Structure 1
């Protein structure tokens, strides 16, 4: 059973290591990545963002995900990663569900993410949990990362 934790300074090394691992496996670490993952308190938390961590009972901290405040009411879901040893255990899905369950308590009107089509499994998960491809988000925010070629916006799932 996974446990979820909000950011503390003690968690900062996990944020760096987990994100550094997945980004460098698939892409080149960009200056913005280095800035954010090496100093999350300054670049995510202080401006009004949030970071969560997933803890596995046997493996320890295995995943992380952030909501970075871009402007009042606008948040980017970013730096979501799972350590290699925990992939396949549905950590990413559980973590994303947790983050989305916390999002309504955060004053937001736009929640978006930027990714790359190489991240097929992640894109499938995002679609499954309510994110939709959005040209407006790509136009407004897509230039933030050289690798970005997919932009998605969260649409709250409709209840029956």
Structure 2
């Protein structure tokens, strides 16, 4: 009796399930690998975002505290007018930086803020120079000239 040949084209249902399971597992591993390489694992990104937000809040609060301490120390050491002038100088520098890096027509008035800060800085600078000149003139007037 001749033997019956087995048809190689027919794949059993169990074989199809195994193949599908293998393909799914390979796809899952490929996604994990891509996520690890690209750093886009959703769970990791959520945790990282929460940590970044908390860290940013702490950094901002510490920076504000540091600014307040610097202001207090500056007012005690150099006086109120010079402190105001230094703060204005700082605002002018920040406005210049924003103006230089992000120049475009905007509706938020950054250019006007820059111009206002410059006017205030120039006014305070002129006022401080006049005060120094008056103090120096008064000091010279009090000193007798020896010959």
Taking structure 2 as the reference length, what is the TM-score of the superposition? 0.26
Higher relative contact order (CA 8 A, sep 6+): 1
Taking structure 1 as the reference length, what is the TM-score of the superposition? 0.25
| Max Rg structure | 2
Normalized per residue, the structure richer in strand is 1
Normalized per residue, the structure richer in helix is 2
